Chain A
Amino acid sequence: MWFPSWFWPSFAAPATIWLLLFFVLPFFVILSIAFGRVDPIFLTPSPVYNPLRWDVAPFRDVLSQIFTNGSVYQSDFLHTLAFVFVATALCLAIGYPVAYFIARHAGRFRTLFLVAFIAPFWISYMMRMLAWINLLQPNGYVNRILGGLGVANTQTPIQWLNGKPLTVILGLTYGYVPYMILPLFGVLDRIPSSTMEAARDLGAGQVTTFLRVTLPLSRQGILAGVVIVSLPMFGDYYTQTLLAGTRNTAMIGNLIVSSIQSSLVQTGASLVLILLVLLILPMLYYLRATSKSTELVAR
């Protein structure tokens, strides 16, 4: 209005250039490597930057491997899907009551609880995992407490870290549950008490109120939380390496990283593409939902 038409867009230029250079272009390199050639002697990738000369055969090979029964690609994908599903469900099961509590019942202690639940966001993820590695050692506190409670046998301590899927799932849940609580809290906080009181006035019991009023109203938050938690979990590889480190618990991220670190770089690039294709629908759904809501508020 008061500024020349190029004024505001120029503010966006540096960030856009940054994104083009370091986000879009790297993914183009991935495409160029996945569909490129490989040096026959040193097995290093030879990226092909001209889309017209791309060769999809190696990519199709990797894709077909995923559908081959018993191949490691298939098993890693299945592990990942299973872990993400169970861990996300656990995050929801734990996060919902906590978010509900902070939103509606914390009263005087609300700020304190908010701080307690925000804390994990700035406590280093690695440090939290390191803490668990120490607690889960055969002679660590977890086994000691379990032994003291009489639940576990102290003679043969439970080997938590020798490749148990349970440990990995619990680790993922521990790491990501704060991300579930945030959107849930946001949405539960916004339900006015008058709505809940109205339901009570109309004769609904506690459970009915929850199922027919609270739950539907918090649906957006649940969906947002599930997406925010599961998307990063799909790419997680370090939690598994720290807490287990065997083939039976390996995830897609492990395959990708180990491919890049050996002579199988082209395979790694193909796997990245497959991962993105797998996640593209939830990602786009999330993007669409957020742009809809921000443009809604912008009006």
Chain B
Amino acid sequence: MIRGVLARLSNPWARARFLWAVALAYVAWTLLPVVVAVLFSFNGTRSLTSWQGFSTQWYAGNESSVWQDPTLRSALVQSLKLAGLTVLIAVPLGVGFALALDRWRGRASGTANFLMLFSFITPEVAIGVALFLFFVQLASGIGTGFTAQVFGLSMYMLAYPVIIVRARLLSIGKEYEEAAMDLGASPTQALRRVLVPLLFPAIFASVAIVFAASIDNFVISQQLSRDASTQTIPILIYSSARRGPLPSLNALASLTLMASTALIVVAAVVYRRFTRDERRAA
């Protein structure tokens, strides 16, 4: 494959040679820094600029490794907890919202939709600061901390499932349910046994995307973070980046990268399998 690509690049008559070069340069520019960062998580010494041999000490073995340093471990656990709870709240709420928007013809549905889209495009720093002040001034009984992070983040993630599920609903249409009811099913049965299974790939995709986005979230999580026990991985990376970071930080980030990648791959595979029949029919 590489030979083919190189042949194409060197052939002055090949079409779109310039575009190929640009695209390859882009991929390299995007991914190489990350590859280097992952590589250095296996560095033999604590340096982040000079490679000195392969070692897995920063994953487990060194006292500052991901496994042994309680700060890193706690950040990993916190990120997973926060992402998990956010998914549990945002996806059902979002799916319900999408269903309602699709079926509901009232005036208020437009307002609700408007609100949801607005939450999606407001700059995160504005939302983060607003939430911080909210939990400190008005909802001071809850205050900042893990609960606030879950509330704030699940609100911010609502838009993803809504958009994804709504797109899926539009492509499904109403024919299947109507057919089921023509064949004698009650409305609830049609809902449960026809619509929900059809929605499954979109729901799964929403879970994957909300999870990946939550693990990566920085501004809202940091504004609502109370102390070291509510630190997530992005917060830790940010505060450590200028304080003499060790390769164990790279190791931590690499672990989440592998987890997100695995999740997205599984979601893509599941989505394709479930929609395979539809694509074949289309």
Contact = CB atoms under 8 A, between A and B. Distances in A.
B20 A105 contact: yes
Nearest to B119: A23
A276 interface: yes
Contact of A47 (B22, B124, B137, B215): B137
A146 interface: no
Which one of B137, B170, B212, B218 has the highest number of Cβ atoms from chain A below 10 Å of its Cβ? B137
Given A30-B133, A139-B50, A268-B129, A125 B96 contact: no
Contacts of B100: 8-12
Interface string B130-163: 1111100110000000000001101100100010
Nearest to A31: B130
B277 to A, nearest CB: 20
B97 A15 contact: yes
Contact of B106 (A9, A26, A135, A279): A9
Contact of B123 (A22, A279, A290): A279
Contacts of A20: 115
B179 interface: no
B121 interface: yes
Contacts of B27: 113, 116-117
B125 interface: yes
B124 A232 contact: yes
Contacts of A178: 30
How many A residues touch the partner, as a band? 35 or more
Contacts of A196: none
Contacts of A100: 19
Contact of A291 (B96, B103, B114): B114
B133 A26 contact: yes
A147 interface: no
Contacts of B114: 287, 291
A85 interface: no
Given A15-B158, A235-B124, A130 B94 contact: no
Contacts of A106: 23
A180 B6 CA distance: 28
A297 B92 CA distance: 24
Contact of A131 (B37, B101, B181): B37
Contact of B31 (A8, A119, A236, A265): A119
Given A15-B96, A134-B48, A234 B170 contact: no
Interface in B102-134: 102-104, 106, 108-110, 112-119, 121-127, 129-134
Nearest to B104: A8
A23 B134 CA distance: 10
Contacts of A283: 118, 121-122
Which one of B152, B219, B261 has the highest number of Cβ atoms from chain A below 10 Å of its Cβ? B219
Interface of B: 15-16, 19-20, 22-23, 26-27, 29-31, 33-34, 36-37, 40, 48-50, 89, 92-94, 96-97, 99-104, 106, 108-110, 112-119, 121-127, 129-134, 137-138, 151-152, 154-155, 158, 162, 166, 170, 181, 187, 212, 215-216, 218-219, 233-234, 237-238, 241-242, 245, 249-250, 253-254, 256-257, 260-261, 264
Interface of A: 2-3, 8-12, 14-16, 18-27, 29-30, 32-33, 45, 47, 94, 97-98, 100-102, 105-106, 113, 116-117, 119-135, 137, 139-141, 174, 177-178, 227, 231-232, 234-238, 241-242, 245, 253, 256-257, 260, 265, 268-269, 272, 275-276, 279, 283, 286-287, 290-291, 294, 297-298
Given A12-B96, A106-B23, A268-B129, 9 more contacts: A9-B109, A18-B158, A23-B119, A32-B137, A134-B40, A234-B123, A237-B125, A256-B126, A272-B130
